[in-house]
A and B are shown apart, each in its own frame.
Chain A
Amino acid sequence: MATLAASLPTQTRARSPQMWLLRRILTNPPAALGALVILLMLFAAIFAPLIAPYPYDQQNLDYIEKGPSAAHWFGTDGLGRDMFSRIVWGARSAVFVIVMVTAVSLALGVPLGAIAGYFGGWADTIIMRAADILFAFPGMLFVFFIAATIKPGIINWAREIGLSDLARTGYLDYAVVIIALGVIGWAGLARMIRAQVMTIKEREFVIGARATGVPAWRVILRHILPNAITPIIVAMSMGLGDIALSEGYLSFLGIGLQPPAPSWGNIIAENAGRYWRRFPEMIWLVFIPGLVLAAIVFAFNFFGDGLNEALNPEIVD
């Protein structure tokens, strides 16, 4: 025991940067709590069919609007469906949207921001004005606009090319939500990347790389982006909660996932629309999905904060 304890400090020093980062986050209670909630959500999303005690759309019209009980932890809704199962399945749509939107905004935002920052000039002007235009729009309105104008087109097009089955399933609606959110998301990301790239490209090691004739794309990929990525990771992890919230809004307004498929947004919509006048009766039907959604948003923010503190230790004092 004594030898083990004595060897600890050396081991700590020898940890990899990743382990060091993990430790910094886990010793920061809000960040750890955030990480826990996020992990829970991921777990629920991945294992939804195993966790959920009932199918998410199984109705029991003889057992509607019942409060939480041993058989139904979160009670049942107006159609006698198990709220716990619906909320667990809702995690799946939230995670799906978070992953997809992040992928779309990264795919657009990182190259566009890097090009704008590295080359400057007219490329910068065009890309950044496009980003300004996206910023000038109220975000949700823009998403509505895209969903209202593009969605019918996509669905008709899918029908025409023989994908009528796909058009019918409602996954295309989902694709539209994802594209719309991604199209909004890239603008902020591109701005951040651009600012980072502009500072880093003046550093000696970048100038050195360029002086030795390394091509521009390689300079960006190998020398600039790895050094620009830290603040991006922090900002994105904080933004993920907003994406989950946006998905909630969109489903709430009927643009997202179609019922009976559960998303936290349409669970709130379905129940808020019906029970808000009867508050505080049936409070669990609106309160629990609201709590879950709020918890996720906070979890991402806390986690992002913790990440920020861990990656930029100088701001701690």
Chain B
Amino acid sequence: MSKSESAGGNRWLIGVIVILLVALCGAVCVGGGVLYFLTQPEANPFAQGGPSTGATPGRQAAPTAARPPATGDRAILRLPGGTDPRTLDPAQVNDTNAGEYVAEIFSGLVALDKDLKVVPDIAEKWEVSEDRKTYTFYLRKEVKFHDGRPVTAQDFKYSIERVANPATLSPTAENYLGDIVGVREKLSRKAAEVSGVQVVDDYTLKITIDAPKSYFLAKLTFPTAYVVDKNNVERGGRTWTDKPNGTGAFKLKEYVRGQRIILAKNENYYGEVKPKLEEVQFILSGGSAMTMYENGDLESVYVTISDIERIQDPNSPLNKELYIGPSLSTGFIVFNTRKPPFDDAKVRQAFAYAIDRQRVIDVVYRKMPLVAITILPPGMPGYAEPANPNPYDPAKAKQLLAESKYAGKLPDITWTTIGAGGSAAQNVQVMVSMLQQNLGARISIQQTDDASFFNTIDDPTKNPYQMFDVGWAADYVDPQNFLDILFRSTSTQNWASYANPEVDKLLDQAAVEKDNAARFKSYQQVEQMILTDAPVIPLTHSREYWLTKPYVKGMIYPAMIIPRLKYISIER
């Protein structure tokens, strides 16, 4: 017995020590270990062309092993790559992650320059007909695919036909090329060929669109309209993008899934701005991106909310390497206007007045994004400074709710959000608490994974969510990209199922208005009407937070995906 007691005593002591040790590990490992899954990098919080959660406060870093190789004296730029791109096929790109690579490897008739202006690319010039419906593009003669084959008008014809072929299953065909006469017909199998695209000669291409739409050229800057090599696509089969034969300033040199994507300089690039970097390595794995940057394993890195306060400290050496810039995006709270109680505009307006947006940005987002009052982000043509920088008015909110048909009998509400374990839902929790305090609304939070979330909201007519939060990033620099695509009653991305015939009519008029000033004015009018009806509450305009090593010159952080690597050089 005494033997057992002494053994027990020892174990007791050991037990206490182990408890303390394990609590330390427990916290860090339960946290740290499983965090590995959780922090699948939100390297691109706003998907391009498709929605993504605007609610993710900041970005998180990708984990894993292997240090990237040292670069020595070679002009090699190493960037955090996030997750594997979903595709490298221009016809399939609808998110910024894939777009970043595709924009470097491929190119199209026109492109966006550093200032996000539409400029000639493979087309050196173009003419627009009197009725503004026919575009004649004159192609540069020296443009070659990476394998040396010259690019001709037939290649563009082939590329557009391919995108419009329903078998290609391009998610963006209708949105980006649907204005071209015949594309919709071919997509719905009513025509075998796109009649609006004609090859005049090897270097002249004529494109006809269905109405004089001022934003048409802007749409052609999106990857959907890029030129691809017929031989490459047809001989390569389903895996042709493993060896993409593009026309861009960089070629794909190596792609090891989950590890790295290496782009190499295209020596024969036709553009005026020649690429200067020998190689660009996107690291798809490897610890925290911030740690890698601080260890000198990356030349540039995005800043997450966990690091922002440390870096914004003026005494931090990293502070001098910090860049803060706009990104053309808006995060929204969306109400499903088909579902009670949000079928009553007064309830939606009440909710909009009951949320102190500035407070949410200050506390949860640590002021990283700008507070959004308008739908259009700053920097977008047509953006109008809001009259009231923070329309938070609990008294007015209460009054609006009392006037609604749900006065005193507001049903229980579920707010669906992307996230796991509460880490992503802090912003939602704060707003839920504000709504409860100011309106007595009982709102429960339902977290879900992003795949099922987007599948659900992509079909607004069947979407069962009552309210949710989601972001939208510009695909091209035109207010049409926000107001028409998100709020036209018939749009497939009309998340709120918002239907206002007056808005639709104004959108139609704005689409064909020739004078830009007048056009932007109509869009402002549309925006005001939408904000009054409040099918959505704008919440955030994201900003880009990047650190870059001082020896990297010409680094740009555009507010949208553009071919940008050719501007960058390394000067040690």
> Which of chain B's residues have a CB closer than 8 A to the CB of A272?
27, 30-32, 35, 423
Give every chain A residue within 8 A of B412 (Cβ-Cβ): 165, 168
Query: Given the interface contacts A61-B430, A298-B22, A302-B15, does A293 sit within 8 Å of B30 by beta carbon?
Result: yes
Which residue of chain A has its CB nearest to the CB of B288? A277
Residue B189 is within 8 A (CB to CB) of chain A in the complex: no
Name the residue in B8, B60, B414, B452 with the highest tally of chain A Cβ atoms < 10 Å from its Cβ.
B8
Q: Do the beta carbons of B447 and A291 come within 8 Å of each other? A: no
State whether the Cβ of A269 lies closer than 8 Å to any Cβ in chain B.
Answer: yes
- Contact partners of A302 in chain B: CB under 8 A: 15
- A165 CA / B442 CA spacing, docked (Å): 12
Q: What does the 1/0 interface line of B436-449 toward A look like (CB < 8 Å)?
A: 00000000111100
Q: Does A30 have its Cβ within 8 Å of any Cβ on chain B? A: yes
Nearest A residue to B60 by beta-carbon distance? A273
Is B34 a contact partner of A260 (Cβ separation < 8 A)? no
**B406-461 residues at the A interface, CB under 8 angstroms:** 412, 414, 419-426, 429-430, 432-433, 444-447, 452
CB–CB A168/B444 < 8 A: yes
Partner of B30, one of A78, A248, A270: A248
- Tell me whether A270 and B423 are in contact in the complex, defined as CB-CB below 8 angstroms, given that A59-B430, A59-B433, A277-B290 are known contacts: yes
A33 CA to B11 CA in the complex, in Å? Answer: 12
B28 adjacent to chain A (CB < 8 Å): yes
Q: Is the CB of B35 within 8 A of A277?
A: no
In the complex, what distance in Å separates the CA atom of A245 from the CA atom of B363?
Answer: 31
A274 close to B306 (CB less than 8 A) = yes
A61 to chain B: closest residue by CB: B363
Q: Are B290 and A268 in contact, CB atoms less than 8 angstroms apart?
A: no
One digit per residue, 1 when the CB lies within 8 angstroms of any chain A CB and 0 when it does not, for chain B 2-26 equals: 0110001101100100110011101
Give complex CA distance A270, B31 in Å: 9
Contact B27 A291 (CB under 8 A): yes
Q: How far is the CB of A249 from chain B (nearest CB, A)?
A: 6
Which residue of chain A is the closest to B356 with respect to CB atoms? A61
Residues B445 and A287 in contact, CB atoms below 8 Å apart:
no
Q: Is A293 within 8 A of B26, CB to CB?
A: yes
**In the assembled complex, which residues on chain B have CB atoms less than 8 Å from the CB atom of A248?**
30
B445 touches A289 (CB 8 A): no
Cβ of A79 within 8 Å of any chain B Cβ, yes or no, is yes
Q: How many residues of A contact B (CB 8 A)?
A: 55
Cα distance, A217 to B90, chains bound together (Å): 68
| A316 in contact with B12 (CB, 8 Å) | no
A276 on interface, CB distance cutoff 8 Å = yes
Whole-angstrom CA separation of A65 from B423 in the bound complex: 15
Contact (Cβ within 8 A) A266 B422: yes
Known interface pairs A286-B27, A290-B31, A293-B30; A251-B433 also in contact (CB < 8 Å): no
A294 touches B26 (CB 8 A): yes
Q: Which of B11, B24, B433 contacts A30 (CB 8 A)?
A: B11
Task: Indicate if the CB atoms of B429 and A259 lie closer than 8 Å.
Answer: yes
A253: chain B residues at CB < 8 Å are 34, 37-38, 420-421
A112 to chain B minimum Cβ distance, whole angstroms, is 31
B residues within 8 A CB of A273?
31, 35, 38-39, 60, 421-424
A163 to B134, CA, bound (A): 57
User: A-B pairs with the 4 shortest C-beta distances?
Assistant: A290-B27, A269-B421, A254-B420, A272-B31
Seen from chain A, the residues whose Cβ lies within 8 Å of a Cβ on chain B are: 28-30, 33, 57, 59, 61, 64, 78-79, 152, 159, 165, 168-170, 245, 248-249, 251-255, 258-260, 265-279, 286-287, 289-291, 293-295, 298, 302, 309, 316-317
Q: Contact residues of B with A, CB < 8 Å?
A: 3-4, 8-9, 11-12, 15, 18-19, 22-24, 26-28, 30-32, 34-35, 37-39, 60, 288, 290, 304-307, 310, 359, 363-364, 412, 414, 419-426, 429-430, 432-433, 444-447, 452, 464
